[in-house]
Amino acid sequence: MCCKGFLKVMMFVFNGVIFLAGAAILGVGIWVAVDRVSLLGILENIEDAPPELAQLANIGYVLIGVGVFLTLVGFLGCCGAVKESKCMLLSFFSIVLIIFLVEVAAAIVLFVFEPLVQKALDGIGQKVAESIKNKYGEDESYTSIWDSTMSELKCCGYNNYTDFMGSPFESTASFYPVTCCRSSSGPCNENEAKRASVVGCFNALLNLIEDNAVLLAGVALGIAALEIAAMVVSMILYTNVGK
């Protein structure tokens, strides 16, 4: 009886974490969907972009869907443990098992097709650089999106300051965005930008991910361990309902 009570508490804790994670993802999704001043907005302004790339702009809605799904799963698991409902416990186990298998499959696909992903990213980089040359300094909305992105990531262009060569902004003012120069005391001309060598926003984003790689890996492993533990506990409770 004591062991069963402990398992119910653990089940409640596991699903409480899942519920909170879902609520956090839901909040991020709402924020991304509302705040368009980001790299997502840049994707919408790339000319001749493939349809798959344009769909990345809807990632906020995907996050909202995932967040709602996780909160429902957490709620289902908690209710199943408290009420000792075989139907709820079995449904919870099946859903978590499907999620776990999808995560494993996604990890394998990313590992196997990493060269193709890198090639696709290179193609995207060329299109983004072309869009900067054509629109930055002329399209007010596009310029504002890039200014905000460069300010937040402390970067310059997609690759570096050369992305702005020949752009409407550079042609008119003969200067580069202030984020392309480390010193704000003078105008950011080509010599200052070359001397500063500020990293491009794509590499800045990669560096941010690499700097937090250990944390991200720990979170991924923690989520996997949590899912396995939740499945084991749910099955034990399922087999002991009514005993």
| Each residue's pLDDT tens digit, 104-135 | 887 787 677 666 666 666 667 778 888 888 88
Which pLDDT does position 121 carry in this prediction? Answer: 64
Do residues 62 and 181 both lie within one domain? no
CB of 63 closer than 8 Å to CB of 29: yes
Mean pLDDT per 10-residue section of the chain, whose length is 243 residues: 69 80 79 59 54 55 79 81 79 84 78 66 74 84 84 86 84 79 74 85 82 76 80 81 65
**118 contact partners, CB below 8 Å, separation of at least 6:** none
Domain of 197, in residue numbers: 120-203
- The pLDDT value recorded for residue 42 is 58
- Total domains, the chain: 2
Helices and strands (H and E) in the chain: how many: 11, 0
Q: Answer yes or no: do 135 and 16 share one domain.
A: no
Q: Cα-flanking dihedrals φ and ψ of residue 184, to 5°?
A: -100, 10
Beta-carbon neighbour count of residue 43 at 10 Å?
21
Predicted confidence at residue 45, as pLDDT, reads 56
Helix (H) or strand (E) holding 81: helix 59-83
Question: Is 223 inside any structural domain?
Answer: yes
In terms of domains, do 107 and 125 share one?
A: no
What's the pLDDT at 32?
66
In a domain, 106, yes or no: yes
Query: Where are any strands of DSSP class E within the chain?
Result: none
User: Does 172 share its domain with 96?
Assistant: no
Q: Is the pTM of this model over 0.95?
A: no
Residue 110 shares a structural domain with residue 35: yes
